[in-house]
Amino acid sequence: MATQPEKARYLQHLARVRASYDAAMDVAGADTAVVFSGALRYAFRDDHAYPFQVNAHFAWWLPVTDVPDSYVIYRAGETPILVYCLPDDFWHLPPAKPDPYWADAFDVRIVSQPEDARSHMPPQSRAPIFIGEAQTKAQALGLERLNPRAALHYLDNARTAKTDYELDRMREASHIAARAHTAAAEAFAAGDNSEYAIHQAYLSAIDYIDADLPYPSIVGLNEHGAVLHYQARDRKAPEVSRSFLIDAGAQSAGYASDITRTYSAEDGLFADLIAGMDELQQAVCGQVVAGADYRELHVDTHARLAQLLTDSRVGKGSAEALIESGITRAILPHGLGHYLGLQVHDVGGHIADDKGTPTERPDSDPALRLTRPLSDNEVVTIEPGLYIIDSLLDAVRNSEHKDLLDWNAIEALRPFGGIRIEDNVRINGDTPENLTRNAFARL
């Protein structure tokens, strides 16, 4: 699916992964780490497996996301061993053979049964650690030190800053998703497509099936745009398609993009608010600079949203009053965004350092996923929103603050659902790289 990165970039990346493991093993007092790709999970009393989801720690080592029962066994300073499970199983298509572009960096040992991995453990390893999810003791190769916190904190922190290889993958993931978003926007613009049909247009534009997506897409027409994690796909088109919110990504070697766009079929207040939110979102993207504290960007977003509500006359009274009364948080109840990488909500957002010192979460926004200052080569999402969510707005309507909103405007907006605009942005000194806008521009 993806163009292969230059081998040199991958090798540079691998050197960084090895160095991170050297240090993580050091803090854990180990000389060997075993990183498991993961095992299939089966439905209760059934022989059907859920879609395989690779352990991100495994995918950090090598661009393999679809091979269960495999292990990287790394002993400090030595060539990592890759135990690669190619089952002797005529019922299923076996995984692809290891690709020399990355496999050359490993001592590859093909096994046909998961339990054979154990014989590849280096003898006399000192206090080896296991990183991953073992459903059974055998999957942990008999190791007892599973996921020690000190090592995980070190690795989580190390994974926040991306290597050149990883940034290439993430640019690619944005590029693939931008193509699919364009197809989805066209399917909406046709006017008579259902959510299901638009979703299919997204997938087929990039030859995806659902299981290829980094997370289940959110594809909502009209009021459904206000359901934050809307998971249905109406098979029937609505009578009138007024608005469309799509939050959907793509991936390259396991690295995700996470992109949201909102469209209006008609001019008017909702379309004006989309334009206002786009301007707001771009202003916040411009603040994604090294040293900026993401908590402050989140708070600043509420200030900008309050101003937009006032300027558009949805809000009455001052911008400050809209914030202090909690109204901006009823209209935008989620966080500004999160780290992005091998995991869509990537790790490390709540620790200040490689020791795992927790960062403080703002009292006003305890669910914010990213609560630390930003550093070069981290990738974050910036995803402000504006929604008409009845349960939250009813609480405002029934409160002493009810006069701070123009309820006629809220009524007019309700059939349009909501707005979210989400880009993926790399921290690069004081000139942020917007992977998503660049990807759309390159189409």
Q: Where does this chain touch Mn ion (CB under 5 A) — which range of 146-154, 256-264, 360-368, 435-443?
A: 256-264
Does 383 bind ligand GLY (CB under 6 A)? Our answer is yes
Residue 369 CB, shortest distance to ligand GLY, in Å, is 8
Please tell me the distance from the alpha carbon of residue 3 to that of residue 169, in angstroms, as a whole number.
9
Query: Phi and psi (nearest 5°) for 220?
Result: -125, 130
Which of 326, 319, 320, 381 is CA-nearest to residue 349?
381
Taking the least distance from each CB to Mn ion, the nearer of 310 and 436 is 436
Residue 245 CB, shortest distance to ligand GLY, in Å, is 11
Orientation angle between helical segments 164-189 and 7-28, nearest 10 degrees: 110
Does 346 bind Mn ion (CB under 5 A)? Our answer is no
Taking the least distance from each CB to ligand GLY, the nearer of 258 and 354 is 258
Binds ligand GLY (CB under 6 A): choice among 195, 247, 346, 354: 247
C-beta nearest to ligand GLY: residue:
247
Residue 214 CB, shortest distance to ligand GLY, in Å, is 8
Instruction: Report the number of secondary-structure helices (H) and strands (E) in the chain.
Output: 13, 16
Site string for Mn ion, 386-425 (x = CB under 5 A): ------------------------------------x---
Taking the least distance from each CB to ligand GLY, the nearer of 160 and 325 is 160
Residue 231 CB, shortest distance to ligand GLY, in Å, is 11
Site string for ligand GLY, 414-443 (x = CB under 6 A): --------x---------------------
Residue 361 CB, shortest distance to Mn ion, in Å, is 18
Does 346 bind ligand GLY (CB under 6 A)? Our answer is no
Instruction: Give, in order, the Cα–Cα distances in Å from 107 to each of 58, 63, 117, 199, 281.
Output: 15, 16, 13, 42, 47
Does 172 bind ligand GLY (CB under 6 A)? Our answer is no
Taking the least distance from each CB to ligand GLY, the nearer of 195 and 247 is 247
The string of DSSP codes covering 202-262 is HHHHTT--GGGSSS--EEEEGGGGGSTT-----SS--SS--EEEEEE--EETTEE--EEEE
Q: How many residues bind ligand GLY (CB under 6 A)?
A: 6
Binds Mn ion (CB under 5 A): choice among 31, 166, 258, 423: 258
Does 215 bind ligand GLY (CB under 6 A)? Our answer is yes
Whether the Cβ atoms of residue 128 and residue 344 lie closer than 8 Å to each other? no
Site string for ligand GLY, 7-46 (x = CB under 6 A): ----------------------------------------
Which of 15, 379, 11 is CA-nearest to residue 170?
379
215 binds, among Mn ion, ligand GLY, none (CB under 5 to 8 A by kind): ligand GLY
Please tell me the distance from the alpha carbon of residue 166 to that of residue 163, in angstroms, as a whole number.
5
Residue 19 CB, shortest distance to ligand GLY, in Å, is 30
Instruction: Give, in order, the Cα–Cα distances in Å from 394 to each of 225, 300, 327, 387, 405.
Output: 18, 25, 11, 13, 11
Residue 413 CB, shortest distance to ligand GLY, in Å, is 21
Does 381 bind Mn ion (CB under 5 A)? Our answer is yes
By CB neighbour count within 10 A (0-12 exposed, 13-18 middle, 19+ buried), where does 372 fall?
Answer: buried
Does 365 bind ligand GLY (CB under 6 A)? Our answer is no
Binds ligand GLY (CB under 6 A): choice among 223, 258, 346, 365: 258
Residue 422 CB, shortest distance to ligand GLY, in Å, is 6
Q: How many residues bind Mn ion (CB under 5 A)?
A: 4
Whether the Cβ atoms of residue 47 and residue 64 lie closer than 8 Å to each other? no
Residue 344 CB, shortest distance to ligand GLY, in Å, is 6
* Secondary structure class of 346 (helix, strand, coil): coil
Orientation angle between helical segments 164-189 and 435-442, nearest 10 degrees: 60
Which of 240, 332, 253 is CA-nearest to residue 13?
253
Binds Mn ion (CB under 5 A): choice among 247, 346, 365, 423: 247
Residue 260 CB, shortest distance to Mn ion, in Å, is 5
By CB neighbour count within 10 A (0-12 exposed, 13-18 middle, 19+ buried), where does 97 fall?
Answer: exposed
Taking the least distance from each CB to ligand GLY, the nearer of 258 and 365 is 258
Query: Phi and psi (nearest 5°) for 434?
Result: -90, 100
- Give the dihedral of Cα atoms 428, 64, 82, 110; nearest 10 deg: -170
Which of 229, 242, 310 is CA-nearest to residue 271?
242
Query: Phi and psi (nearest 5°) for 295?
Result: -60, -40
Where does this chain bind Mn ion (CB under 5 A)? 247, 258, 381, 422
Where does this chain bind ligand GLY (CB under 6 A)? 215, 247, 258, 344, 383, 422
